[in-house]
Amino acid sequence: MEQAVAECVGLLGAVTDRDWEGVRAGRLEWSCRRTAVHIAEDLIAYAGQLAGREQDGYAPFELSLDEGTDNAGAVRVIGAMGALLAAAVRTTPRDVRAFHPYPFRSANREGFAAMGVAEVLLHTHDIAEGLGVPYEPASELCDFALTRIFPHVRPGPTPWLTLLWATGRGELAGRAPVTGWRWSNNLVIDTERLTLQGVTPAAATDLSTVGDGGFEWIEGGPVEGTRVGSGLVYKQYEDGVHRPEWGMYVLVRREDDRALGAMGFHGVPDEAGRVEIGYDLVEGARGHGYATEALRALSSWALDRPEARTVVANVERDNVPSQNVLARAGFTQVAEDSEQHLAYELREPREG
């Protein structure tokens, strides 16, 4: 966050003697001056959401600059508001989520940081384009935003070019122009004892190697199945077929905010509405009903979607504990293959 704001302030601070009010900011309808103020507005709005733990809407306040504030003053305000958002991100606990409308009505501190970075990068670009000055932010800043709030966007030749294309500001060979877009914070599904937290491409990359994905795990986690599944999530992201709500979720215990396993879909539902689900738990979390609780919640969420009609699970014949989890969650065994795998299904309730 600090780096993005510092680059913005450095670039805009060098052109404060120019006419910002009479120049349109790139492809926007706003002037460069209005766009600069908007950057500051976004930064303080996001800080307010986190600091106030807002749950039902935006905190009811607006930012206004004193009458007579010049361009240099506007740049100072951007710097100050960026510092406030950075402080809010640093001091907000990992499990806190606050209201943001797109697409699941909440975001955590990392999501707000990514949205703040994106707003700064994109609107600094707009102003720079309007004023005719060169601007290209650090690649790692663009990647930070893309892997957290653009999980549905296939990586391109460079993170900056990809971010510009994904927000309707540029072109990429072989891809249609973007005319409408929104970013996507991760989905979180609550149960009585758990939160199922959608895994972003950034977290998947970390989990697929030796990292913790930004979660605090109970002893022994994450297990190998989680790492393998995370690698598949990132591969789907690279291939441009990742749909985050149909990806992986880390199971986090509400009482202590510690991760104890993972559960997720192997992809989007097929043409028949069938979607496969898989899961694993750290050994120390087994035997407490966590997998059953999570499976009921995630399966119910899936079957509430119009594109899903059947949730499928495959389990080894000798894995009796997993079979018991499926049975308790309402699944029915429907087949057994030659490799000693049992197939289970949970179908959408039939009307009538």
Q: What is the pLDDT of residues 108-124, one digit of tens each?
A: 999 999 999 999 999 99
Q: Is 123 part of a structural domain of the chain?
A: yes
Under 8 Å between Cβ of 242 and 205? no
Instruction: Specify the pTM.
Output: 0.95
| Pair (340, 236) in one structural domain | yes
> Which residues, in sequence order, are bridge partners of residue 206?
none
Chain centroid to Cα 338, Å, comes to 40
Q: What angle do CA 258, 263, 269 make, to 5 degrees?
A: 150
| Pair (14, 137) in one structural domain | yes
Under 8 Å between Cβ of 246 and 255? no
| Pair (22, 139) in one structural domain | yes
What is the β-pairing status of strands 107-108 and 97-98? antiparallel
Counting every residue, how long is the chain? 352
Residue range 5-48, pLDDT digits in tens: 999 999 999 999 999 999 999 999 999 999 999 999 999 999 99
Under 8 Å between Cβ of 188 and 106? yes
- Expressed as residue numbers, the domain containing 100 is 2-166
Q: In angstroms, how far apart are the furthest CA atoms of the chain? A: 79
Instruction: Give residue 350's pLDDT.
Output: 53
| Pair (44, 129) in one structural domain | yes
| Pair (205, 156) in one structural domain | no
Number of domains in the chain: 2
Q: Is 177 part of a structural domain of the chain?
A: no
Residue range 93-151, pLDDT digits in tens: 999 999 999 899 999 999 999 999 999 999 999 999 999 999 999 999 999 999 999 99
264 φ/ψ angles, rounded to the nearest 5 degrees? -175, 175
Per-residue pLDDT for 74 more than 60? Answer: yes
Q: Is 180 part of a structural domain of the chain?
A: no
Q: Is 352 part of a structural domain of the chain?
A: no
Q: Is 176 part of a structural domain of the chain?
A: no
Q: How far apart are CA 261 and CA 291, in angstroms?
A: 8
| Pair (22, 114) in one structural domain | yes
Q: How far apart are CA 46 and CA 38, in angstroms?
A: 12
Residue range 155-197, pLDDT digits in tens: 999 999 999 999 999 999 999 999 999 999 999 999 999 999 9
